[in-house]
Amino acid sequence: MKQSGKQILVAGGGASGLMAAIAAARRGAKVTLLEKNKQTGKKLLVTGNGRCNFTNRNQDMKNYRSGCPAFVEQALKGFSMEDAVMFFEELGIPARDRDGYLYPADGQASSVASALRLEAERLKVRSGCNTEILSAEYTGNRFLVKTAGWQYEGDVLILACGSLAAPGTGATGDGYRLAEGFGHTVIPPLPALTGLYAAEKDCAKLAGIRQEAKVVLLIDGETCIEETGEVQFTSYGLSGIPVFQVSRYVSRALKEGRRCEICLNLWEGRGSGQTRRVFEENREYTGERSGTDTLLGVFPEKLSGVLLERAGISRKKKRNQWTQEEEYRLIKQAEELRFSVVRCRGFEQAQVCTGGVPLTELKGITMESACMPGLYLAGELLDVDGACGGYNLQWAWTSGYLAGSAAAEGTGTLC
């Protein structure tokens, strides 16, 4: 272990803060980790439905969204997916690969949180849990971090306080305020990886249905992004992974006063390529059917009912009495089932935030602040949000590792 001897304060004991503390302590720094929860890694416990999808073999850059994608790409070269896999293997956590999505082999998010905690303990990181940071300042030669009962001093301060997403895990946006105190700006954080409220009343009739579909987000009528996967209809609107994936664009567009619509192509969901052909070619056998029976086996009954209503076809009318125009309208409805988005679900239901401290305010991938020497930033506090699939944790590991390493070794070592 190298001996840097620096005294480093890490604000926030989540994924990025734990990683930063470990990276710095491995370089010989004396690290104190301050966490307001009674234990570190609380948010990690709920990741991946308790299984922790900690990274992904597919590291296509389109899975990382930021105002400065080139920065993220460079940072990921500094601590990559392979580095994360190796890091966790060394801590006794082999990865289980599910179509490229990587989880701990035992399928327990708690193992990831515990392994990080045990490694921090092994490295003699001082962990101050139940310690809420109220303020942070630079006094001329030291950083001073104040809590209700104590004040901590350090040569270096790493801010890793996370975002506003999932406040039950400790996310209250304190990191933004602390960063602003050192001269940083903050792109207003908005909920991302979350469900969408729809204006259409018939959406509630579909609550509980899960349906494969291509999800197209239209902003002011123009296609913004497309995702395919299982859409979940809920009492408030739309949810499910493909809806989560587009939600960060909806958040930003609605904030800018733009019009957002979700257009579902129910024919093009994964595995349903044959569905439309079968429906179009089976008139001979289904001609005597009426109502939702005409779409039996194609779509769930409630969904068929909404499609018929929207296509303006009476439920009593047998299929062989439909006009060509009516059949066309029904097929078109299933191809372009539209919902106007009123708003995104709030921070409580969001997995991450879009927005945060711009990466342009950092000194390259040292993660050191360009506003305040000796201050480092990591994790979701920064303007990076990943797609569903392990990308947000990969960013936490990458940024935490780079910040902790550079903080212990001094500015510029990783540029």
Ligand X SMILES: Cc1cc2nc3c(=O)[nH]c(=O)nc-3n(C[C@H](O)[C@H](O)[C@H](O)COP(=O)(O)OP(=O)(O)OC[C@H]3O[C@@H](n4cnc5c(N)ncnc54)[C@H](O)[C@@H]3O)c2cc1C
Residues that bind ligand X (CB under 6 A): 11-17, 34-37, 42-43, 46-48, 52-53, 132-133, 160-162, 165-166, 169-172, 174, 351-352, 379-381, 390-393, 396
CB of 90 to ligand X, least distance (A): 20
Q: Which is nearer to ligand X, 306 or 403 (CB)?
A: 403
The CA distance from 261 to 336, in Å, is 11
Name which of 133 and 344 has its Cβ closer to ligand X: 133
Q: 41 or 305, CB closer to ligand X?
A: 41
Give, as one character, the DSSP assignment of residue 14.
Answer: S
Q: Please, which residue, 237 or 389, has the CB nearer to ligand X?
A: 389
Number of H helices, E strands in the chain: 12, 21
In angstroms, how far is the first alpha carbon of the chain from the final one?
22
Nearer to ligand X, 51 or 319 (CB): 51
Nearer to ligand X, 11 or 298 (CB): 11
Tell me whether residue 82 or residue 280 sits nearer to ligand X (CB atom).
82
> Which residue intervals of 63-130 are DSSP H helices?
69-78, 81-90, 109-122
Distances (CA, A) of 392 to 77, 81, 173, 242, 377: 16, 12, 17, 16, 15
165 versus 198: smaller Cβ distance to ligand X = 165
Considering the complex, what minimum distance in angstroms separates the CB of residue 329 from ligand X? 40
Q: In whole angstroms, how far apart are CA 194 and each of 167, 208, 239, 246, 320?
A: 14, 17, 7, 9, 42
CA nearest to 194, candidates 259, 243, 260, 227: 243
Cβ-based nearer residue to ligand X, 40 or 275 = 40
For the bound state, the minimum distance from the C-beta of residue 223 to ligand X, rounded and expressed in Å, comes to 27
Residue 66: name the closest of 187, 175, 203 by CA. Answer: 187
Looking at beta carbons, which pairs linking 21-24 to residues 24 or more positions away fall under 8 Å?
A: 21/120, 21/123, 21/125, 21/158, 21/404, 22/116, 22/119, 22/120, 22/123, 22/125, 22/404, 23/400, 23/401, 23/402, 23/403, 23/404, 23/405, 23/408, 24/158, 24/404, 24/405, 24/407, 24/408
Distance between CA atoms of 27 and 20, rounded to whole angstroms?
Answer: 11
Question: CB-wise, 61 or 278, nearer to ligand X?
Answer: 61
| Least distance from ligand X to the Cβ atom of residue 409, Å | 21
Sign of CA dihedral 21, 24, 27, 32: negative
Is the CB of 242 or the CB of 305 nearer to ligand X? 242
Beta strand extents in 245-329 (DSSP E only): 260-265
What's the closest the beta carbon of residue 343 comes to ligand X, in angstroms? Answer: 19
CB of 43 to ligand X, least distance (A): 4
Evaluated on CA atoms 213, 218, 222, 223, the torsion sign reads negative
Q: For the CB of residue 198, give the shortest distance to ligand X in the complex, in Å.
A: 22
Q: And the tokens for 405? A: 């390493």
In whole angstroms, the minimum distance from the beta carbon of 197 to ligand X comes to 19
Can you read off the two tokens belonging to residue 284? 């001979």
Q: How far is the CB of 21 from ligand X (least distance, A)?
A: 11
| CA separation for the pair 260, 249 (Å, rounded) | 9
- Least distance in angstroms from the C-beta of 47 to ligand X: 3
**What is the nearest approach in angstroms of ligand X to the Cβ of residue 9?**
11
Quick one: tokens of 345?
């679900």
What is the total residue count of the chain? 415
Residue nearest ligand X by beta-carbon distance: 14
